[in-house]
A and B are shown apart, each in its own frame.
Chain A
Amino acid sequence: MYLYINKLTIILLILSFANSVQAHHSFAVEFTAEKTITINGVVTEIWFRNPHVRYYVDIINNKNKIESWDVRTSSPSLLVRKGWTKTTIQVGDTISIIGHPGRDDRKLLSVISIKLPDGSSLGKKYPDSDE
């Protein structure tokens, strides 16, 4: 059921995906701006609330263990204006996410792009999305 984490592909191409996070505080303190990683997993919980919309996503790591990631994006009112609503992603969906990881190996991810089960993308266009 769970997809394997995509080797936590660390891409050091800084800023090649311009994000649209509207940080409420200093993003750079919590997240590693210099890195982007990709994770694949299953959505277990959704909080479509301020200060940041977040999705809890279970992945299987390289040691074959389940890890829960706290995946954060922008504020609900900014997302819904683009058509990204609380039902766009559902619990149980398998999604791929590119984002900036938390500092100190914390399991946090600030979203740059999400690939949905139907192949479409949210945020910036996912590199191999079906669009």
Chain B
Amino acid sequence: MIQDKKVSKKTDLSISKKFFVRNALILLCLISSPGFAQSSIEGDWMLLLNGKKIQIDNSVVIGAPTDNKAAIIGKLSLKKFNEKWIGHVEGGPVPITINENTIEIIIDSRDLAGFSFNRRLTGSFSDSNMAGTFTIEGATEAPEPGGKWSAKRVIPEKTNLPPEPRDITGIWTPAPGVDFRKYSMDLTDKAQSWHKDYIDHYDQPNVRCVSPGIVAMVAWGAYPVEILESEKRYSFLYEVDSEVRRVFMDNRQPPEYYPTSSMGFSNGKWDGNNLIINTQLLEGNVRDFRGEPISDGAKMHEKYTLSEDGNSLHAVITLIDPENYKEPPIRRRKWVKNPNTVIYPYECDPDSFYRQMHNEDKMDMYFDRSERRQIN
């Protein structure tokens, strides 16, 4: 036994030494690489943040499997224009500073309670990798301590693969992490002009018990969804606002005069083992809980992927609305299968909303700004 321990210790030392030498060589290669030319990092990268596990209200994950891998992921796009770097994370603008082989990215975000804060990423890069550490700035309700980050080049996925449907039925509860919850987006002049006078606690649809619509709901990190499958159709039963969404798998088109609405009209198809959902006929609305507009006729693209063990479902959600966004906003979500819950009733009463305005003598102001609640 003693001999075994010695051997094991020796082996450990040998591995550590090799590990050190290998890392030193990689670092040397990186520093001396001609790929350090700054222009080489233009393009799309996939960011990965490994901070402390993000907490989520435990009421929604009761009975669900614990997830200790609450990494946050998101697309970073870098472009150089007129000698200036332009950066976007998940479609939203981010300040970028690049010097020699170092990079700093400041990404604004919003926690579950609505507090906005920044993640400041600093690190170094090569042609194919970036890595460093990040810190949090600003008051979050559940403060994160920061951690490590890395990025790799985005490799385009193969598409138009033969369908390999997976079983996505069941009740799914939101899991922590994954989404950057990028706060600001790259609005067009038209969208900025509309958005500048928005007051979310008077103008958001949900404050007066109107469903915010599928674009906001699908990324909402609090309520479960039940997915049912019937012939050539999935039905998504969302707990929030008791909304129902039908995803037609038979390529049918909406009937003539089918109206635009906040839920739109969704068609789905299996591309390999990814469920792709395209939603059209969205009506003028707001994208999230900050009041950024969605134009009448905007579209949404979603890609759902089931984990190998069938216990978690991941989605990448992209809003396509060039009228309002210079870059398409992206959200990501992860749900875990939760057979230990059911969809609860969701009843909403706007009494408190109107009562508060009445008590504060703001009813006239509210109705004077009705155009804030009508987007075309």
* Chain A partners chain B: yes
A interface, CB within 8 angstroms of B: 14-15, 18-30, 33-34, 47, 49-52, 54, 70, 72, 74-82, 106, 108
Q: Is the interface of B mostly helix, strand, loop or mixed?
A: loop
Enumerate chain B residues within 8 angstroms of A21, measured Cβ to Cβ: 112-113, 141
B219 to chain A, nearest CB (A): 13
A108's closest neighbor in chain B, by CB?
A: B356
Pair count A-B, CB < 8 A: 112
B162 within 8 A of A: no
B60's closest neighbor in chain A, by CB?
A: A78
CA distance A70 to B200 in the complex (A): 19
Enumerate chain B residues within 8 angstroms of A78, measured Cβ to Cβ: 57, 59-60, 222-223
A23 close to B62 (CB less than 8 A) = no
B225 to chain A, nearest CB (A): 13
CA distance A80 to B201 in the complex (A): 25
B55 close to A18 (CB less than 8 A) = yes
CA distance A34 to B140 in the complex (A): 10
From known contacts A15-B141, A74-B57, infer whether A25 and B200 are also in contact, taking CB-CB under 8 Å: yes
B141 close to A25 (CB less than 8 A) = no
Pick the contact of A49 from B57, B139, B141, B347 — CB < 8 Å? B347
B window 102-120: CB within 8 A of A: 110, 112-116
A50 close to B347 (CB less than 8 A) = yes
B289 within 8 A of A: yes
B114 close to A25 (CB less than 8 A) = yes
B interface, CB within 8 angstroms of A: 55, 57-60, 62, 110, 112-116, 139-143, 199-201, 204, 206-207, 209, 221-223, 239, 289-290, 341, 344-353, 356, 360
Enumerate chain B residues within 8 angstroms of A25, measured Cβ to Cβ: 114, 200-201, 204, 206-207, 289
Enumerate chain A residues within 8 angstroms of B139, measured Cβ to Cβ: 14-15, 33-34
A30's closest neighbor in chain B, by CB?
A: B201
A81 close to B59 (CB less than 8 A) = yes
B59 close to A79 (CB less than 8 A) = yes
Enumerate chain A residues within 8 angstroms of B200, measured Cβ to Cβ: 25-26, 29
B352 close to A26 (CB less than 8 A) = no
Pick the contact of B115 from A27, A47, A80 — CB < 8 Å? A27
Pick the contact of A18 from B142, B346, B348 — CB < 8 Å? B142
A26 close to B141 (CB less than 8 A) = no
